């Protein structure tokens, strides 16, 4: 077999593709080789000198990140010499480190801290004054840099070179005076800043939005898909369920979709999920006044409106922010069962949709466009794409309109603006998770919806790749429903609450 | 006693740097001879001569040349004229005597490895040498030794002179390449080695000035004549820079395997003012210090000095007199390496700073005698852990001094401390 090599890693024979490094092989085999500067999404720097391994026959220890596995090589990660190198490697990393863990946001997820707990737990031998460097340096709208905490692993510099290709960061000066910085007074301005916070193995880069907000060990994490655009990055949402508050979003690895990264715009897609932004209950316009009502009452009134107007005078206005499962349930009920024939899809402006920044962000800022189109293709009826032509389309007379509002702020605000242009519809039922939507004019009833992190299901991204919203948090809005649940309630033979 | 003169053969010749003088003494004949030969033959001859890199590592030159992949389309030859090792002043002496000797060596080397473009990388502090070198390059171009169709052949070799900013780390071959590429002078991770992927990602050979300058003589006189000098494993001659309180400090060309004591006490005239020999650094600042007892029969060749626990390095022999406080020497050394560490690799960046920081503590009267053992331990764990050898260069002399002069250093700390009053 010419394309693979087999070598010995500790007590096991390991076969990996030719050209792989020992580090890559160890990752695959779940053998832990501690490292700071190596990152699977970046080039090899080989500067932290931490991933030392013992190679039989070699004169000295080798770094696993730049050591290509060769046939018959014998590698050990646990010899006394390796352990000694780790201990001293850690000592070198820590002598000038401020050790301000109690006030550092990275505490709890810090490479230095974790590794100290694993191999350290000894008093420092450093008894001299430490090297002092600039702290709390403002490097951009989302970034703060503490150059004292920095271990100069150069991950951030390589990210700027290789991923965003903006080359905004450099290492200035040399020796133990070296610091990370931008050129002159420049600030980092791109849409991928917080990846620098993610890849920083210590607390040097912190996020302006997250710093000092929450200790990471109080956060619960759930895997889901970013609702920000049609790329559909795999993400992890971090929240405190006891407070029903979302704090941050981190990318997860999905080689085929987002690799290791996500954009900053995507990181802002959680704030609307917090309690203060949520529509907690259904609302209705009763005698010209907005009133909070139980969800069944609002649904019941919608049902009666449809019954009165007839399916031919009912239309659906659908945005591409809901799961495949939700669309199926929605169309199944309204189109197949009730016979609604008019469906408007709202997907933003056509001219913006094909935009792509060359990294991850796409102009189609809807996470499930492909899923919506696939679901639509299975039903009969008049399907109109409505954005610029919305008023003209809707003017063709529906008396009842059921609108699925996009959930992330930057698209939903836009959607609501469009909705406000509609006049003459007797009942508009807006299904939304956002409290802000109750400000919109011309709406008859508001149904509180669950956000993307509060439900399971699937999105199809721009490639048609099916990705799962794996886990759901409890909703911050107590009576929020998914579209599936709302439709189930509508389909009940008799409404459970009547006025 | 007469010694073979290869690199210093232009000593005492008037106007020795001029092209006319060089030509009069057989200059560019070796290049003329070689350009008709196949590159493999030239490499074989240099391999056979046993010439080893004079920058410090002593790697066989012909072998290095043979590492360039045969299929390579663009190959670069770089001359490392950065000469930054403290105590070393031999390469500048070659430029002072005969810059054309280097140019001719580079033409031969470029032909052997298939390079059409060569660079000399010189540190900016060599004001005069830079000027002399530039003049020589201009002369060589005018005379048709460089450029298109040089010496009437179809070959084209261009030579440029690049002036570095004087960082020690740019004398490390991959640091030099980074610097020449216009980047921060930081050594590159190996593999890949420069012979495969060097300057601008192309196969590159980096040779020291002294190495390249020896090549024309070897071509003219043959491998056997070169091997006749020196020892079996360290053939040829080498320039030794003797500094310190000796009567005649300077550059001496001697066959390798020459007795160190003879060099210091006969050739350099011995110690001045009745000073006694306390120690010798035999190969530049990064070479471990040797005690008088250790140099009794020591010869100046790669193997003998390695066996004595030090290294031949750049051939910078630094003589340390009895009245030299070793703490002072240690301070100068660790401060130098602290200042010059590029800061890439953690053990070196932090380690060199830590060493300097602890030694600083002596001046501040806060050091403790056990700091000497700490210095040794830090140095021990800096060694062999980094991309380039700067960390080792700082660690090796620190280890040697703290080991061999532990008592003196501790006494200094005690006398200097609040304990000692």
Q: Which residues contact A384 (CB under 8 A, 6 or more apart)?
A: A342, A343, A344, A345, A393
* Chain A hits for B342, Cβ within 8 Å: 174-175
Q: What is the CATH number of domain A130-213?
A: 3.30.70.20
pLDDT tens-digit readout, A444-475: 999 999 999 999 999 999 999 999 999 899 99
- Of A70-74, A416-420, A480-484, B371-375, which gets the smallest average pLDDT? A416-420
Residue B182 sits at the chain A interface (C-beta within 8 Å): no
Q: What is the CATH number of domain B237-321?
A: 3.10.20.600
Cross-chain residue pair B353–A176, CB shorter than 8 Å: yes
Res A351: pLDDT: 81
- Of A67-76, A267-276, A380-389, B4-13, which gets the smallest average pLDDT? A380-389
What is the rounded average pLDDT of the residues B66-82?
A: 95
Residue B184 sits at the chain A interface (C-beta within 8 Å): yes
* Chain A hits for B170, Cβ within 8 Å: none
Give the start-end residues of each E strand in B93-220.
Answer: 117-123, 158-164, 204-208
- Of A80-89, A381-390, A426-435, B23-32, which gets the smallest average pLDDT? A381-390
Res A122: pLDDT: 84
Cross-chain residue pair A128–B354, CB shorter than 8 Å: yes
Is residue B124 pLDDT above 60, yes or no? yes
Which H or E run contains A24? Answer: helix A22-28
What is the rounded average pLDDT of the residues A101-114?
A: 94
- What residue of B is the nearest CA neighbor of A60? B384
Phi and psi, residue B250, nearest 5°: 155, -170
- What residue of A is the nearest CA neighbor of B185? A174
Numbered residues of chain A with Cβ closer than 8 Å to any chain B Cβ: 44-50, 52, 59-61, 66, 68, 84-85, 88-89, 91-93, 95-96, 125-126, 128-129, 131, 151-152, 154, 170-171, 173-178
pLDDT tens-digit readout, A46-58: 999 999 999 999 9
Residue A478 C-alpha from the chain's centroid: 23
pLDDT tens-digit readout, A272-327: 999 999 999 999 999 889 999 999 999 999 999 999 999 999 999 999 999 999 99
* Chain A hits for B167, Cβ within 8 Å: 174
Is residue B420 pLDDT above 60, yes or no? no
Cross-chain residue pair B361–A128, CB shorter than 8 Å: yes
Which H or E run contains A417? Answer: helix A409-420
Residue B69 sits at the chain A interface (C-beta within 8 Å): no
Looking at every residue in chain B, the average pLDDT score rounds to 95
Cross-chain residue pair A152–B349, CB shorter than 8 Å: yes
* Chain B hits for A45, Cβ within 8 Å: 189
- Whether B68 and B164 have beta carbons less than 8 Å apart is answered as no
- Whether A150 and A202 have beta carbons less than 8 Å apart is answered as yes
Please give the ipTM for the structure prediction. 0.93
Q: Which strands form A137-140's sheet, in the order they lie side by side?
A: A137-140, A143-145, A205-207
Is residue A394 pLDDT above 80, yes or no? no
The residues spanned by each domain of chain B are 19-227, 237-321, 326-416
What is the rounded average pLDDT of the residues B210-237?
A: 96
Which of A176, A177, A183 has the most B C-beta neighbours within 10 Å, making it the best mutation to test the interface with B? A176
B353, B374, B381 ranked by CB distance to A175: nearest = B353
Cross-chain residue pair A176–B381, CB shorter than 8 Å: no
Res A194: pLDDT: 97
Q: pLDDT exceeding 90 applies to what percent of chain B? A: 93
State the CATH class of domain A280-491: alpha beta
A45, A95, A170 ranked by CB distance to B350: nearest = A95
- Whether A386 and A403 have beta carbons less than 8 Å apart is answered as no
* Chain A hits for B362, Cβ within 8 Å: none
Q: How far apart are CA B116 and CA B155, in angstroms?
A: 8
Neighbours of B187 (CB within 10 A): 22
Cross-chain residue pair B343–A152, CB shorter than 8 Å: yes
Q: How far apart are CA A254 and CA A467, in angstroms?
A: 10
Cross-chain residue pair B341–A176, CB shorter than 8 Å: yes
- What residue of A is the nearest CA neighbor of B187? A47
Per DSSP bridges, beta strands A220-225 and A234-240 are antiparallel
B395 closest CA partner among B287, B304, B314: B287
A66, A128, A154 ranked by CB distance to B358: nearest = A128
CA distance B387 to chain A (A): 7
Q: How far apart are CA A263 and CA A190, in angstroms?
A: 9
- What residue of B is the nearest CA neighbor of A97? B350
What is the rounded average pLDDT of the residues B253-274?
A: 96
A45, A92, A174 ranked by CB distance to B350: nearest = A92
pLDDT band at A494 (very low <50, low <70, confident <90, very high): low
B189, B351, B358 ranked by CB distance to A44: nearest = B189
Cross-chain residue pair B343–A173, CB shorter than 8 Å: yes
> Do the two domains B237-321 and B326-416 of this chain adopt the same fold?
no
Q: How far apart are CA A229 and CA B65, in angstroms?
A: 55
- What residue of B is the nearest CA neighbor of A65? B189
- What residue of A is the nearest CA neighbor of B190? A66
- What residue of B is the nearest CA neighbor of A86? B381
- Whether B317 and B280 have beta carbons less than 8 Å apart is answered as yes
Per DSSP bridges, beta strands A342-346 and A382-385 are parallel
The residues spanned by each domain of chain A are 4-94, 130-213, 280-491
* Chain B hits for A59, Cβ within 8 Å: 384
pLDDT tens-digit readout, A132-141: 999 999 999 9
Please indicate whether residue A409 or residue A193 has the higher confidence score (pLDDT).
A193
Q: What is the CATH number of domain B19-227?
A: 3.40.50.11540
Q: How far apart are CA B116 and CA B134, in angstroms?
A: 19
A61, A84, A175 ranked by CB distance to B341: nearest = A175
Task: Please determine, looking at this structure, whether the domain spanning A4-94 carries the CATH number 3.30.450.20.
Answer: no
Q: What would the DSSP string read from start to end of A295-316?
A: HHHHHHHHHHHHHHH-GGGEEE
CA distance A88 to chain B (A): 7
A48, A61, A177 ranked by CB distance to B346: nearest = A48
Which of A174, A177, A181, A183 has the most B C-beta neighbours within 10 Å, making it the best mutation to test the interface with B? A174
Is residue B171 packed enough to be buried (19+ CB in 10 Å), middle (13-18) or exposed (0-12)?
buried
pLDDT tens-digit readout, A323-353: 999 999 999 999 999 999 999 888 878 888 8
CA separation (Å) from A458 to A323, A454, B190? 5, 13, 46
Cross-chain residue pair B353–A128, CB shorter than 8 Å: no
**What would the two tokens of residue B182 be?**
């216009």
CA distance A47 to chain B (A): 4
What is the rounded average pLDDT of the residues A252-277?
A: 94
Considering only CA atoms, give the Rg of chain A: 27
- Whether B311 and B317 have beta carbons less than 8 Å apart is answered as no
Cross-chain residue pair A96–B360, CB shorter than 8 Å: no
CA distance B45 to chain A (A): 30
Q: How far apart are CA A49 and CA A36, in angstroms?
A: 8
Cross-chain residue pair B191–A66, CB shorter than 8 Å: yes
Residue B255 C-alpha from the chain's centroid: 17
Looking at every residue in chain A, the average pLDDT score rounds to 92
Residue B345 sits at the chain A interface (C-beta within 8 Å): yes
CA distance B378 to chain A (A): 8
Res A499: pLDDT: 46
B339, B345, B354 ranked by CB distance to A47: nearest = B345
CA distance B198 to chain A (A): 16
Residue B381 sits at the chain A interface (C-beta within 8 Å): yes
Q: With the C-alpha atoms ordered B135, B101, B316, B44, is the resulting torsion angle positive or negative?
A: positive
- What residue of A is the nearest CA neighbor of B391? A175
pTM greater than the 0.90 cutoff: yes
pLDDT tens-digit readout, A353-372: 889 999 999 999 999 999 99
pLDDT band at A388 (very low <50, low <70, confident <90, very high): low
Per DSSP bridges, beta strands A342-346 and A314-319 are parallel
Which H or E run contains A285? Answer: strand A282-286
Q: How far apart are CA B127 and CA B242, in angstroms?
A: 22
Please indicate whether residue B133 or residue A498 has the higher confidence score (pLDDT).
B133
Topology of the domain covering B326-416: de novo design (two linked rop proteins) (1.20.1440)
Residue B322 sits at the chain A interface (C-beta within 8 Å): no
CA distance A170 to chain B (A): 10
B350, B366, B386 ranked by CB distance to A176: nearest = B350
Q: How far apart are CA B236 and CA B217, in angstroms?
A: 11
Is residue B283 packed enough to be buried (19+ CB in 10 Å), middle (13-18) or exposed (0-12)?
buried
Cross-chain residue pair A174–B357, CB shorter than 8 Å: no
Q: How far apart are CA A387 and CA A346, in angstroms?
A: 6
CB pairs under 8 A between A and B: 95
pLDDT tens-digit readout, B378-417: 999 999 999 999 999 999 999 999 999 999 999 999 888 7
**What would the two tokens of residue B212 be?**
């390249």
Per DSSP bridges, beta strands A457-460 and A466-469 are antiparallel
Cross-chain residue pair B342–A174, CB shorter than 8 Å: yes
CA separation (Å) from B30 to A213, B8, B13, B107, B217? 74, 17, 20, 10, 7
Is residue A73 pLDDT above 60, yes or no? yes
User: What single-letter DSSP state applies at residue B271?
Assistant: B
What is the rounded average pLDDT of the residues B33-50?
A: 95
What is the rounded average pLDDT of the residues B332-355?
A: 97
Which H or E run contains A382? Answer: strand A382-385
Cross-chain residue pair A178–B349, CB shorter than 8 Å: yes
Res B335: pLDDT: 97
pLDDT tens-digit readout, B170-190: 999 999 999 999 999 999 999
Q: Which residues contact A335 (CB under 8 A, 6 or more apart)?
A: A316, A341, A343, A379, A380, A381
């Amino acid at each position: 077999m010419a394309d693979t090599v087999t070598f010995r890693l500790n007590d096991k024979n390991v076969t990996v593709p030719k050209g792989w490094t020992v580090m890559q092989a160890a990752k695959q085999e779940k053998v832990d080789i501690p490292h700071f500067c190596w990152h699977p999404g970046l080039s090899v720097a080989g500067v932290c000198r931490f991933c030392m391994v013992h190679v039989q026959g070699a004169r000295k220890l080798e770094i696993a990140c730049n050591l290509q596995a060769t046939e018959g090589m014998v590698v050990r990660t646990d010899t006394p010499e390796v352990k000694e190198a780790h201990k001293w490697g850690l000592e070198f990393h820590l002598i000038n480190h401020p050790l301000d863990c109690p006030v550092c946001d990275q505490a709890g997820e810090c490479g230095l801290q974790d590794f100290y707990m694993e191999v350290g737990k000894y008093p420092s031998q450093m008894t001299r004054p430490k090297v002092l460097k600039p702290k709390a340096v403002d490097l951009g709208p989302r970034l703060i840099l503490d150059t004292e905490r920095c271990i100069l692993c150069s991950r951030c510099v390589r990210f700027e070179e290789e991923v965003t290709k903006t080359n905004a960061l450099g290492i200035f000066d040399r020796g133990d005076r070296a610091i990370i910085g931008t050129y002159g007074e420049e600030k980092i301005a791109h849409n991928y800043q917080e990846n620098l916070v993610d890849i920083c193995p210590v607390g040097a880069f912190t996020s302006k939005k997250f710093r000092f907000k929450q200790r990471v060990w109080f956060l619960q994490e759930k895997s889901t898909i970013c609702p920000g655009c049609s790329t559909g990055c795999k993400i992890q949402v971090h929240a405190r369920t006891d407070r029903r508050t979302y704090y941050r979003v981190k990318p997860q690895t999905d080689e085929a979709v987002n690799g290791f990264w996500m954009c900053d715009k995507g990181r802002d897609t959680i704030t609307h999920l917090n309690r203060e932004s949520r529509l907690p209950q259904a609302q209705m316009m009763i005698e010209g006044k907005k009133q909070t009502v139980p969800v069944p009452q609002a649904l019941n009134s919608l049902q009666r409106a449809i019954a009165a107007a007839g399916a031919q005078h009912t239309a659906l206005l659908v945005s591409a922010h809901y799961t495949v499962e939700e669309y199926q349930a929605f169309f199944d009920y309204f189109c197949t069962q009730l016979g609604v024939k008019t469906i408007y899809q709202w997907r933003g402006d056509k001219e913006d949709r094909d935009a792509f920044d060359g990294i991850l962000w796409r102009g189609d800022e809807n996470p499930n466009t492909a899923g919506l189109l696939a679901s639509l293709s299975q039903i009969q009826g008049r399907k109109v794409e409505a954005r610029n032509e919305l008023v003209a389309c809707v003017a063709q007379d529906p008396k009842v309109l059921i609108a699925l509002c996009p959930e992330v702020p930057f698209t939903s605000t836009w959607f609501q603006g469009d909705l406000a242009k509609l006049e003459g519809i007797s009942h508009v039922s807006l299904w939304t998770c956002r409290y802000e939507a109750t400000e919109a004019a011309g709406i008859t009833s508001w149904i509180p919806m669950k956000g993307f992190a509060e439900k399971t299901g699937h999105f199809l991204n721009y490639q048609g790749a099916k990705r799962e919203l794996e886990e759901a948090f409890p909703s911050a809005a107590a009576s929020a429903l998914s579209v599936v649940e709302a439709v189930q309630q509508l389909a009940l033979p008799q409404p459970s609450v009547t006025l | 006693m007469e010694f073979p003169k290869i690199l210093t053969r232009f000593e005492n010749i008037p106007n020795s740097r001029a092209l006319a003088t060089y030509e009069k003494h057989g200059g560019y004949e070796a290049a003329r001879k070689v350009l008709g030969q196949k590159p493999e033959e030239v490499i074989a001859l240099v391999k056979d001569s046993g010439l080893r890199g004079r920058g410090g590592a002593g790697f066989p030159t012909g072998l290095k040349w043979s590492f360039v992949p045969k299929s390579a389309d663009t190959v670069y030859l770089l001359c490392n004229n950065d000469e930054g090792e403290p105590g070393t002043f031999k390469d500048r002496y070659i430029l002072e005597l005969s810059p054309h000797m280097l140019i001719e060596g580079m033409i031969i080397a470029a032909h052997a490895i298939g390079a059409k473009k060569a660079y000399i990388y010189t540190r900016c502090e060599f004001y005069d040498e830079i000027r002399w070198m530039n003049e020589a390059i201009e002369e060589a171009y005018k005379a048709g030794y460089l450029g298109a169709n040089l010496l009437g052949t179809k070959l084209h070799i261009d030579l440029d002179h690049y002036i570095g900013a004087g960082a020690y780390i740019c004398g490390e071959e991959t640091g030099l390449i980074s610097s020449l590429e216009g980047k921060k002078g930081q050594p590159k991770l190996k593999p890949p080695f420069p012979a495969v992927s060097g300057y601008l990602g192309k196969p590159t050979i980096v040779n020291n000035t002294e190495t390249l300058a020896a090549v024309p003589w070897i071509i003219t006189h043959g491998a056997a004549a070169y091997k006749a000098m020196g020892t079996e494993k360290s053939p040829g001659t080498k320039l030794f820079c003797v500094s310190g309180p000796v009567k005649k400090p300077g550059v001496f060309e001697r066959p390798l395997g020459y007795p160190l004591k003879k060099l210091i006490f006969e050739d350099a005239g011995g110690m001045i003012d009745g000073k006694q020999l306390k120690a010798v650094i035999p190969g530049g600042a990064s070479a471990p210090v040797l005690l008088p007892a250790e140099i009794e029969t020591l010869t100046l060749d790669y193997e003998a000095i390695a066996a004595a626990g030090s290294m031949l390095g750049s051939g910078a022999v630094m003589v340390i007199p009895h009245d030299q406080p070793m703490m002072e020497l240690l301070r100068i050394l660790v401060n130098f390496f602290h200042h010059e560490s590029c800061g890439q690799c953690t053990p070196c960046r932090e380690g060199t700073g830590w060493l300097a920081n602890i030694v600083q503590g002596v001046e501040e009267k806060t050091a403790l005698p056990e700091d000497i053992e700490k210095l040794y331990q830090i140095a021990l764990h800096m060694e062999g852990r980094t991309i380039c050898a700067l960390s080792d260069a700082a660690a090796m002399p620190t280890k040697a001094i703290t080991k061999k002069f532990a008592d003196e250093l501790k006494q200094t700390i005690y006398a200097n401390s609040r304990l000692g009053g």
